Copies of this chain bind each other. A is one copy, B any other.
Amino acid sequence: MSAPIVHGGGITEAAARFGGRLEDWLDLSTGINPCPVALPEVPERAWHRLPDRQTVDAARLAAREYYRTHGVLPLPVPGTQSVIQLLPRLMPENGKTPASSRVAIFGPTYGEYARVLSAAGFAVDRVDNADAVSAAHGLVIVVNPNNPTGRAFAAADLLELAARQRASGGLLLVDEAFGDLEPELSVAGHVRGEDNLIVFRSFGKFFGLAGLRLGFVVGSEPVLAAFGDWLGPWAVSGPALTISRALMQGDTAAIAAGIRERRAGLDAALDATGLKRIGGTGLFVLVEHPRAALLQERLCEAHILTRKFDYAPTWLRIGLAPDPAGDRRLADALARMEL
């Protein structure tokens, strides 16, 4: 078993250490929409019965429209993490597509990719740009836009990289977990039947329903069939399938507008401080501070949880507050500190 990564969302632990009632904490440690949408009604059947073919197909059709994947029906999975766990099985020792077992990950980024692939014995290279990727890499992973830096690649650049990898039998995996607010970056619509391009999408971040455990994979037929086979039947819950279908067919523009308003509130709160913004996506901002760990701790004393990074001691990731009062609370806490 590899060492677990400490992710955001550890508010129970934070409250145990710094005091305060859980409900009085302001959790800015994740990149999740803080204004969850109203849940559509879940038919009793979705709870009671195993999810049937019709329920799965309806969710896939809605995802196809929402992610604009044209001919490809996205595969619902119980959270993107569930398919990150399966990436070792895509590798050549296991008889699947890539020609080489070396992996390139554009980083720093979401830590679970390197953790899972290293634990499975694969050589993982952290790369910074496309020139560092070679034919020796059977799998290349890009989170786009990236978490936590917000670095974004244009779709055309990723498609060019995919084409280059194709010649050597390599796969390109693009994780678009934070892509809902920037659809022009998405390569999901460029996946074709026998492509070497795989796209992961996260449902819970944009819709504010991370507890639901739902993601989608867009990929070639053999790749989707392999993931589906490895996950087995009924991998995704009935409520997740029916809720995602309804919400993807609903007013997603209003959800995006709500998130942009919250992001503007965070920007305004940070404007009043001397904190330097060095990146971000629609759902979080990355700031730089010479003693970010200390800043994170002092915010904890004000019962505000943010996310620090062991590998980058000057970085702090700050998510969206649920309302203007949260923005003010953050601004006030920062104003009281000598930054």
Residues from chain B with Cβ under 8 Å of A226 in the complex: 1
Q: Complex formed: what's the CA distance from A231 to B236 in Å?
A: 14
The answer to whether B239 touches A50, judged by C-beta atoms less than 8 angstroms apart, is no
Nearest CB of B to A262, in Å: 14
Which one of A79-87, A161-169, A180-188 is at the B interface? A79-87
Candidates B52, B230, B231; contact of A10 at CB < 8 Å: B52
The answer to whether B30 touches A81, judged by C-beta atoms less than 8 angstroms apart, is no
Q: What is the number of residues of chain A that contact chain B, defined by CB distance less than 8 Å?
A: 56
Residues from chain B with Cβ under 8 Å of A204 in the complex: 50
Q: Is A233 an interface residue (CB 8 A)?
A: yes
Known: A46-B211, A47-B39, A211-B47. A52 touches B12 (CB 8 A): yes
What mask results when residues 53 to 68 of chain A are scored 1 for a CB within 8 Å of chain B, else 0?
1100000000000000
The answer to whether A208 touches B48, judged by C-beta atoms less than 8 angstroms apart, is yes
Residues from chain B with Cβ under 8 Å of A212 in the complex: 47, 237-239
The answer to whether B211 touches A53, judged by C-beta atoms less than 8 angstroms apart, is no
Using a CB–CB cutoff of 8 Å, the interface residues on chain A facing chain B are 1-2, 4, 7, 9-13, 27, 30, 32, 36, 39, 44-54, 78-79, 81-82, 84-85, 112, 116, 119, 204, 208-213, 225-226, 228-240
Known: A12-B54, A78-B235. 15 other contacts (CB 8 A): A7-B233, A9-B50, A10-B53, A12-B52, A45-B211, A47-B211, A81-B233, A82-B231, A82-B232, A85-B230, A211-B239, A212-B238, A213-B234, A213-B235, A237-B237
Q: List 22 A-B contacts (CB under 8 A).
A: A1-B225, A1-B228, A1-B229, A7-B50, A12-B52, A27-B49, A32-B49, A45-B211, A48-B208, A48-B209, A48-B210, A49-B210, A50-B211, A84-B232, A85-B230, A85-B231, A211-B239, A212-B237, A213-B234, A213-B236, A237-B237, A239-B239
